[in-house]
Structure 1
């Protein structure tokens, strides 16, 4: 308790630029994503693509994340060149976005989407690993730095929307490129002495494949991520059926983004009080309530108070997941752990949620779709709680 309070006090003093670079990076990165990702489908449609093709192009990156992110992380841990690989990934992403802005023939979109997935997938896992290394023993305050990503998303999403409405969709790419330059500048300030691998590299890789507690953790995050994929892909369709206006839909995003900030800010206290496992259980419980709320709502405006739970369902999950993965990882393999975390929760889980959600939405309707998503997460909650002691003892299974 005293150690965490001391960490928070060090954060409040902010007498060193240690915290400024991560905050600036997270702001710029998620600002770039807010300016780019929500508008890609509109850009594809503007180039004359049909709905099925658009679905394929938007679904490929999260699927590829499952493979790409862990591979980059493993390469970074094996070579101990985390900063250089991060800069290569950012440079590749910058060039890919620039090429996107120049495309007029749809035939080039598939290779560009593949390049986008290749370079974008490892960035946040590498950055999270770097930030945790920078914080050292003060890792509990990670959320206070990560919240700047939520601020960047909210600010840039609004500004990019105004620019696109006035000047056209290409300004989505120009805005993203500007913020990516900020990301590249920030990486020049990331000076971290990488942790040495404490065991043979392939023995560490074996841990990620065979450790029972780690696999329980990943299965739980996968189930939660599937439900998140359902929400991310089908909530607006559901709201449209409930006659929601575009303004109301935008307001639900604003409420969700705003709800992230206090959870990230107080993440250190939540981790201190509940631990990573307890915080993950809280997040799963909130997801069950959120999915049930969507299933039961009869008017579109009800989504506004429901989306206040987004901070618990996403931010709490991410703070807990990053902390859990970092503590579980064998020494010197933090980037690999963060890559696997991202690949499962943001990659294959989101894509699975989109596929299963689409089938259920068409078969049983939106309310039942969200209801079944809630049931699945409730099952994941029970599963994680029942094996919780074994998962809690994960550190004892790793030689440090």
Structure 2
């Protein structure tokens, strides 16, 4: 896979994809520490984490359907980061739980839709230039790795109280980069129609896929929400937490490249089954880990868990969802993977973690991953039904 001889809009898309994951690092791993710094309990942190996925159920659909309907992703991105910037400024000026709860709710309305829309634009840009989607998306992993390490050390030196200042700076940079993006063109020229979308969503293959995704997303989001608190309870510093996130992000990059070259040799459902099985192993090892160094080592399993899962899931959904519903289809995928699962894991995960402890918390997470593994395997053994009108361009994903 070659990265040279790229056109300007491909490079701007790569730069944008790189930068947006700085906010992802903050929201996924350091907002929880910031909320703890403000004096909130584990349960309150769980509620603040859960409200985002709840709001994103509506915000993902709203922004992605608007993108499909009006055929512009660039303008949506500009609005989203302008909103993040404004909410970040307001959040930095308050420490009351109820005020933070209200403001973070609005912040999440502008935060969550960025990622499915970014993937949509990356897919369109890659197809327009005859490239593989991964040559753009991999810059998200590189960006996540860079920000995971750098943010950890910055906050370790200036204090966790500066978390929102970093969020404001990164959102401002993303806003500027969004003005340089180029909207993609739908390949078949069709606008989204509600009846067609409903017909696609009723297909057994789509429903089965989303069910498996939800079962796997629950333990993944549980781990995401409480990984930093787990490390903190073991005595890890912000810098060491950054190394943990870096280990996960770097480990997925070679898997992305390998799947871009050889992934088409394997069917999607067996790959998803393998990823779910490795997730179960990862969470089981987390349940018995008792040292920050052990956790960092376990984090390298992100390569054969999320690395395999993400690329394969995007490839699968772009095959079973027609082109004119792409942004909405990826939004639905994000809602199941992030929003619905995050809502459950944040609300009940916080209580579970607080009442039962880390070992039971991760042991349950491993069991849920095994359920997803069984679901993907069962669907593969039952056979794949073809969905009329599904995109064949996904073979380039």
Aligned residue number for residue 109 of structure 2? 118
Aligned residue number for residue 60 of structure 1? 51
Classify 1:323/1:89 alpha carbon distance in 2 versus 1 (closer, same or farther; 3 Å).
same
- Kindly tell me the number of residue pairs found equivalent between the two proteins: 390
Query: Which of 374, 377, 392 does residue 382 from structure 1 map onto?
Result: 374
Q: Note the C-alpha offset of 1:114.
A: 1.6
Deviations 1:345-364 (CA, angstroms, capped at 9, x unpaired): 01111332344444554565
The alignment's TM-score, normalised by the length of structure 2, stands at 0.86
Query: Which of 86, 92, 107 does residue 101 from structure 1 map onto?
Result: 92
Query: Which of 313, 318, 323 does residue 326 from structure 1 map onto?
Result: 318
Deviations 1:44-73 (CA, angstroms, capped at 9, x unpaired): 345454444333222210222223212321
- SS for the counterpart of 1:192 is coil
The within-5 A match list for 1:1-400 is 8=1, 11-35=2-26, 37-103=28-94, 107-136=98-127, 141-169=132-160, 171-187=162-178, 188-195=180-187, 198=190, 201-207=193-199, 209-236=201-228, 243=234, 245-246=236-237, 249-297=241-289, 301-358=293-350, 360-361=352-353, 365-388=357-380, 392-396=384-388, 398=390
- SS for the counterpart of 1:266 is helix
Give the Cα–Cα distance (whole angstroms) in 2 for the partners of residues 371 and 203 of structure 1. Answer: 42
Deviations 1:123-143 (CA, angstroms, capped at 9, x unpaired): 111111111011117787322
The alignment's TM-score, normalised by the length of structure 1, stands at 0.85
Classify 1:82/1:362 alpha carbon distance in 2 versus 1 (closer, same or farther; 3 Å).
closer
Give the Cα–Cα distance (whole angstroms) in 2 for the partners of residues 335 and 16 of structure 1. Answer: 23
Give the Cα–Cα distance (whole angstroms) in 2 for the partners of residues 310 and 46 of structure 1. Answer: 28
Classify 1:141/1:36 alpha carbon distance in 2 versus 1 (closer, same or farther; 3 Å).
same
Give the Cα–Cα distance (whole angstroms) in 2 for the partners of residues 53 and 307 of structure 1. Answer: 26
RMSD between aligned residues: 3.0
Give the Cα–Cα distance (whole angstroms) in 1 for the partners of residues 217 and 112 of structure 2. Answer: 16
Give the Cα–Cα distance (whole angstroms) in 2 for the partners of residues 285 and 139 of structure 1. Answer: 33
Q: Note the C-alpha offset of 1:147.
A: 2.2
- SS for the counterpart of 2:254 is helix
Unaligned runs of 5+ in 2: 393-397
Give the Cα–Cα distance (whole angstroms) in 2 for the partners of residues 170 and 139 of structure 1. Answer: 45
CA contact (8 A) 2:248 2:301 kept: yes
Deviations 1:242-281 (CA, angstroms, capped at 9, x unpaired): x454365544323212212212233312422224333322
Give the Cα–Cα distance (whole angstroms) in 2 for the partners of residues 387 and 12 of structure 1. Answer: 36
Unaligned runs of 5+ in 1: 1-7
Deviations 1:102-132 (CA, angstroms, capped at 9, x unpaired): 3365553233112111111211111111110
Q: Note the C-alpha offset of 1:165.
A: 4.0
Deviant stretches of 4+, over 6 Å: 137-140
